[in-house]
Structure 1
Amino acid sequence: MKLLIAAVGTRMPDWVSAGYGEFAKRMPRELPLELLEVKAEPRAEGKPVAAMMAAEAVRLRSALPARCRRIVLDERGTELTTRGLAERLQRWLNEGDDVAFLIGGPDGLDPAFRQEADERVRISGLTLPHALVRVILAEALYRAVSLMRGHPYHRE
């Protein structure tokens, strides 16, 4: 099994790549974290937002493996604790499919694409830049995997 972060947007600032990279390299070999970036649809005068999100959804779908659990990051999704994320990861690991966490572009994710997801998870009640979400999610996944491996958690 591997964990994927599939995100709309390329050419992130260096601090995003460094932050994501730091946590991705800490992941255990048997549970790698991979970033799949897809190009954001160019913003054009008069182009409907729905059409732009639909084009981004097509790119995301084509970047994902044929079989994977799709977890949409959505402010209306289920809020998880670190322990809750670790428990979910363990369950997904037992099921065996890859797990893809989906991050939309500036306008979010296409509503139809969101509906196709297996789950919706909320990272924060705060409005966060999509680039920062990659770093936060990578850290959260690393921490959850550490809990799964018996590493002591200072919050318990």
Structure 2
Amino acid sequence: MHIRLIAVGDRQPAWVDTAFKDYAGRLPRPWKFALQTIATSRRRRHGDSSGARSEECEKILGKLANGERVVMLDERGSQLGSTELASSINDWQSDGRDVCFVIGGPDGLDEHCMARADFTWSLSRLTLPHGLARVVCVEQLYRACTVLEGHPYHRA
């Protein structure tokens, strides 16, 4: 199983890049974890953001592979504890499909993107800046890996 993250927003603060690279570097090599970024679409100052979300969605959908398990990150999704996420990843590994996590743009994900989701995951009921969501996502993937390996990083 290979895992990747598609995230809207190609420029992040240095601390986001540093933290993200640290946790991504800890993930198991067989996962071949990769980050793919999509530029944030231009928004109108006082207009509707649906056009920008739709444009971002088209770019996201264009990067998804057939048969790939798609996990959309959205505040309205299911909240999982770290051990629940580890269990889900273990189940996903069993079916052999690659997994792609998706973080949308500043206005979230378009309904057409959400329709492509095999699972919708909420990191929190809080609204998080996208850079922080990236870091939390990859840290939780690392934590799930340590749970599955019995590594002491996760202390429950």
Shorter chain as denominator, the TM-score bin is over 0.9
Whether contact under 8 Å (1:8, 1:105) holds in the other structure is yes
The whole-number CA distance in structure 2 between the counterparts of 1:43 and 1:51 is 8
Task: Tell me by how many angstroms 1:66 deviates.
Answer: 3.0
* Equivalent residue number for residue 12 of structure 1: 12
Percent of aligned positions with the same letter in both sequences?
37
Check the 8 A contact 2:70/2:101 in 1, yes or no: yes
Structure 1: runs of 5+ lacking an equivalent: none
Given that residues 2 and 99 in structure 1 are in contact (C-alpha distance below 8 angstroms), is that contact kept between their aligned partners in structure 2?
yes
User: Which residue is equivalent to 1:111?
Assistant: 111
SS in 1 for 2:4: strand
Partner Cα distance (2:105, 2:59) in 1? 12
Q: Secondary structure at the match of 2:141?
A: helix
- Structure 1 counterpart of 2:55: 55
Q: Is the 8 A contact 2:73 2:102 kept in 1?
A: yes
Corresponding pairs, count? 155
Is 1:100–2:97 an aligned residue pair?
no
Name the amino acid aligned to 1:17: D
- Distance (Å, rounded) in 2 between the aligned partners of 1:108 and 1:114: 10
1:113-128 matches, within 5 Å, as: 113-128=113-128
In structure 1, what is the Cα distance between the partners aligned to 2:42 and 2:107?
A: 12
Letter in 1 for 2:155: H
| 2: CA distance, partners of 1:106 / 1:50 | 11
In the alignment, the residues of structure 1 paired with residue 74 and residue 44 of structure 2 have an alpha-carbon distance, to the nearest angstrom, of 25
2:41 aligned counterpart, secondary structure: coil
Write the distance in 1 (CA, Å) between the matches of 2:92 and 2:23: 20
Q: What is the CA-CA distance between 1:48 and the residue it aligns to?
A: 3.2
For structure 2, the residue ranges without an aligned partner over 5 or more in a row are none
Q: Which moved more, 1:29-38 or 1:99-108?
A: 29-38
Q: Where has structure 1 moved over 4 Å in runs of 4 or more? A: none
SS at 1:16 equivalent: helix
Measured after TM superposition, the shift of residue 28 of structure 1 is 1.1
**Cα RMSD over matched residues?**
1.3
**2:135 maps to 1:135:** yes
Quote the offset at 1:67 in angstroms.
2.8
What CA distance in whole angstroms lies between the structure 1 residues aligned with 2:55 and 2:67? 21
